[in-house]
A = this chain, B = another copy of it.
Amino acid sequence: MGEFDLIARYFTRPPVRALVGVGDDCALLQPRPGTQLAISSDMLVAGRHFFDDVNPEHLGHKALAVNLSDLAACGARPLAFTLALALPEVQEPWLAAFARGLWSLADAHGCELIGGDTTRGPLNICITVLGETEGQPLLRSAARPGDELYVSGTLGDARLALQALQGQQALPPELLAQARQRLEQPTPRVALGLALRGIAHAAIDLSDGLRGDLGHVLKASGVGAVVEAEAAAGLLAAARHPGWRGGASAALEAVLAGGDDYELAFTAPPAAREAVLQAARQTHTPLTRIGRIEAEPGLRVLDAQGRPLPLQATSFDHFKSP
């Protein structure tokens, strides 16, 4: 099967909103008047972001999910994406499954594939996603002292699954299965991001771990934060399972170091608390308030008695050893 047959069979559908989709030099989109365009690119590399033997349907889902998560963090509505794919060889069952996972999530969000590139090479998936925002987008730089700090869904389970699959940590099979789903099939919080427009101040999607990603918000906003250890530790889904033997401090560490969570962390003023909870209910998104923003720079994690806990300074960085 050649390059153009491959594109035609797995990655071409008639354009929906796009004026021109797959199959010309460029795709063409007509943005709606008054909207801004939100753009994000993410690259996933075999052996780095996923195991070589990962279920290709899950991989197709995840490759788009991590990009949609960036749109969610800006409060942008998904419009379209391009897919650039380097493949060591053409294996049709693999491609069919990958495409199935990709289209399924794309359809769920009305996000159309409008172009891209295919080439031979070490397995690499680069997606660029385009969305539209109206009014004030959610930015990393908008956190204000006094804001409350929220996190959607659960955190740390993806990292737990990764460690178990790498043999660094033993997990009961049931717990591993649950955590592995978080690693391989994250849920981009697009609906929540949209519902938070005009309510939340700052937002970020959690891909490198809460500690590091929250650090980006604090730095961009010129503020600090206090996180309550008990609330944060409770974000690890695995810790709620009777098979969990790690205790609270391991749970807290998994949550803070995390990575691959693709949940939203965001801040909102106390007066907006009811509106925030309403946005979460409307979009069926679990939400936890874990702390607050303060003027004093830095991140402080407090125990139940309000005493600061020592913090390791680690967060995921592709060019530093963990």
> Residues on A close to B: CB < 8 A?
1-4, 6, 19-20, 23-31, 33, 36-43, 45-49, 69-71, 73-74, 76, 80, 82-87, 90, 114-122, 124, 126, 128, 130-131, 133, 137, 139-141, 203-205, 220, 317-320
- In the bound complex, what is the Cα–Cα distance between A118 and B87 (angstroms)? 19
Given contacts A25-B70, A31-B37, 5 further A-B contacts (CB under 8 A): A20-B139, A25-B71, A41-B128, A42-B117, A122-B124
A193 nearest CB neighbor, chain B only: B25
Write 17 A-B pairs (CB below 8 A) sorted by A numbering. A1-B319, A2-B320, A19-B36, A25-B71, A25-B73, A25-B205, A26-B40, A27-B40, A31-B37, A39-B128, A41-B117, A41-B128, A43-B119, A45-B86, A84-B128, A118-B318, A128-B128
The 4 closest A-B pairs by CB, nearest first: A45-B121, A126-B126, A25-B73, A43-B84
Contact residues in B for A49 (Cβ distance below 8 Å):
119
- In the bound complex, what is the Cα–Cα distance between A193 and B133 (angstroms)? 30
Give the contacting residue for A119; candidates B38, B48, B114, B116; CB below 8 A: B48
CB-based contact B26/A71 at 8 Å: yes
CB-based contact B86/A6 at 8 Å: no
- In the bound complex, what is the Cα–Cα distance between A141 and B15 (angstroms)? 15
- In the bound complex, what is the Cα–Cα distance between A24 and B47 (angstroms)? 26
CB-based contact A36/B45 at 8 Å: no
Contact residues in B for A70 (Cβ distance below 8 Å):
25-26
CB-based contact B122/A45 at 8 Å: yes
Contact residues in B for A27 (Cβ distance below 8 Å):
38-40
CB-based contact A20/B137 at 8 Å: yes
Contact residues in B for A74 (Cβ distance below 8 Å):
24-26, 28
CB-based contact A41/B84 at 8 Å: yes
CB-based contact B24/A140 at 8 Å: yes
Chain B: minimal CB distance from A208 (Å): 9
CB-based contact B45/A137 at 8 Å: no
Contact residues in B for A317 (Cβ distance below 8 Å):
2-4
Question: When A29-B37, A41-B82, A117-B41 are in contact, do A23 and B130 touch as well, CB less than 8 Å?
Answer: no
Most buried by B among A33, A40, A46: A40
Contact residues in B for A3 (Cβ distance below 8 Å):
317-320
CB-based contact A41/B2 at 8 Å: no
